[in-house]
Structure 1
Amino acid sequence: ESKGECYTDRWYEKKNMQIKDNHQYMGRKRMLRKNKTLIFKYFLNLINGAFLVLGLLLMGFGAWLLLDRNNFFTALDENNHLIGYIFRILIGTGSASVLLCLLGYLGIHNEIRWLLILYAVLLMWAFGVQVVLSALIFTKKEEVHQIWHDKIDSVISEYGSKDLPEDIPKWTILNALQKRCCGQKNYTDWMKNKNKENSEQVPCSCTNSTLRKWFCDEPLNATYLEVNGCENKINTWYHTNALTLIGINFGLLASEVLQFSLTVSFFRHIKNRIYAEK
């Protein structure tokens, strides 16, 4: 009997050890799943935050160019055709990106599977929109630049006209632009202006004059006349902003791809964890 009791005790002891080991193993697995969930959430929220910042930048960029009346680029597009449409697309895309980020945050934080699926689908939709927007920027970049170039020539021709008082804001912005430069290509662009009292006149902004009027009587060969054109300054401003816009767009594309991949992986992880805990 003593031997039987000894065997029984050993069996129970061994069984208890197995149960204890099994509990420890299951506890470690739960801990690993929990840690994996936290890691997923960390990286998803990190990329989602970057996505939010880029969306706000895109929205702000479009709003600034569309609404800032003191911006020469916006002032020239008085009919708000091609340029205005592009700016509105930027604002719409940026706003959609911000809303998408908020939706993603809710799905990630609360681990709502149907919301994660919706988020992943909308990310792919946003990716398609961004691809179309990138193509639009590339194909229309030179067209917009040429439109802008032609409109500057038109402003120079009509500058100072008493019949166009509504264009005074454009002329004021052009004067501000003509600091250390004159005309688009050079100061001779002003020869085609028909509103001067004589051929020797140039805008006062092309000289060191402090007079508050449109034209000053300065000889075209005067040493204090800015002879270099503003084309380089204009092109630098335009290409810098175009590259900034393209950079934001590609940043959004990259973050959308990463976020989609992580969201799908996170969804699978949650699904497997739920099945494992049943």
Structure 2
Amino acid sequence: MREYTEKKETCGTICLKYLLFIFNFFFWLAGGAVMAVGAWTLAEKSDYISLLSSSTYSATAYILVVAGVVVMVTGILGCCATFKERRNLLRVYFILLLCIFLLEIIAGILAYIYYQQLSLELKQNLKNTMTQKYRREGEESVTSAVDKLQQEFKCCGSNNYTDWTDSLWIKSSEASGRKVPDSCCKTITDLCGRRDHPSNIYKESGCITKLENFIQEHLKIIGAVGISIACVQIFGMIFTCCLYKSLKSEPY
């Protein structure tokens, strides 16, 4: 009877080991995906971060990058802890899983909160950022972001092209008589911003709604990735606890 019980426990331990190994393999792949989403947000979409007064958007991306790296390392540690059947490694593995779980939940919550606040922030700050910092010394990142924004989304100004009448740069001699930046033009040529006719510039729409929609879509991705991976980790923590208990109950 004792031999049957020990054999049953051993079979259960082996099943848990393979379940945890499979989990760790997919967990490692998920870590790469999480890191890729965070890095993609920072690398490809970082131009527009300078137009935001809050650092929450970039913070969520950085959290995902850090979490992704830790997930990949943790996946490898989990495989080692599983097949070596070392309870001390399993404890470390569980603690790392818990830390990553909390990081990704935080990223998801930050993305959700900022999603709700984004519209108000842009309404309060985007026009001021564009008119006060465009082409100013030391604000090259803002200038580049504004030009890219207006060209990529085919818009002009925050609400519309008339916002540029309040621009410090447009009022200065450096603008050379331009009424809007050249990036407002449908076909960019030198000094094309002098002519504000609808056939020449994107006169019909401002950039605020388009930028808001763009960032909100990325916040949805960041939030969904963070929360989804965090939910999957719950299974990993359950498997780890079961394996730890199984090893602890076995005779040495």
The question of a shared fold, defined as TM-score above 0.5 by the shorter chain, is answered with yes
Paired position in structure 2 for 1:269: 246
Alignment counterpart, residue 210 of structure 2, candidates 216, 233, 236: 233
1:38 CA drift (Å): 4.9
Within 5 Å, which residues of 2 pair with 1:62-141?
A: 62-66=38-42, 68=43, 71-76=46-51, 85-141=59-115
Paired position in structure 2 for 1:204: 182
Per the normalisation by structure 2, the TM-score is: 0.75
Q: Which of 1 and 2 has greater Rg?
A: 1
One-letter amino acid matched to 1:92: V
Within 1, Cα distance between the matches of 2:79 and 2:119?
39
Is residue 174 of structure 1 aligned with residue 149 of structure 2?
Answer: no
Paired position in structure 2 for 1:10: none
Within 1, Cα distance between the matches of 2:216 and 2:52?
18
CA, structure 1 residues 170+160, in 2 after alignment: closer, same or farther (shift >3 Å)?
A: closer
Contact 1:65/1:73 (8 A) holds in 2:
no
Contact 1:55/1:97 (8 A) holds in 2:
yes
Contact 1:45/1:105 (8 A) holds in 2:
yes
Deviation per residue, 1:59-88 (Å, 9 max, x gap): 44444555x49722333369x955555544
Aligned-CA RMSD value: 3.6
Paired position in structure 2 for 1:189: 163
CA, structure 1 residues 84+245, in 2 after alignment: closer, same or farther (shift >3 Å)?
A: closer
Within 2, Cα distance between the matches of 1:81 and 1:200?
32
One-letter amino acid matched to 2:96: L
Contact 2:48/2:145 (8 A) holds in 1:
no
- Percent identity over the alignment is 19
SS at the partner of 2:193? strand
Paired position in structure 2 for 1:13: none
How many residue pairs end up in the alignment?
A: 244
SS at the partner of 1:238? helix
Paired position in structure 2 for 1:250: 227
Contact 2:112/2:219 (8 A) holds in 1:
no
Q: Which sections of structure 1, spanning at least 5 residues, go unmatched?
A: 1-21
Deviation per residue, 1:141-196 (Å, 9 max, x gap): 444564455443233213654xx233234223322221322222222222322322
CA, structure 1 residues 44+70, in 2 after alignment: closer, same or farther (shift >3 Å)?
A: closer
Within 2, Cα distance between the matches of 1:140 and 1:160?
25
Per the normalisation by structure 1, the TM-score is: 0.69
Alignment counterpart, residue 21 of structure 2, candidates 29, 32, 45: 45
1:54 CA drift (Å): 3.5
1:246 CA drift (Å): 0.8
Contact 1:183/1:189 (8 A) holds in 2:
yes
Within 1, Cα distance between the matches of 2:65 and 2:144?
27
1:122 CA drift (Å): 3.4
Paired position in structure 1 for 2:193: 216
1:259 CA drift (Å): 0.3
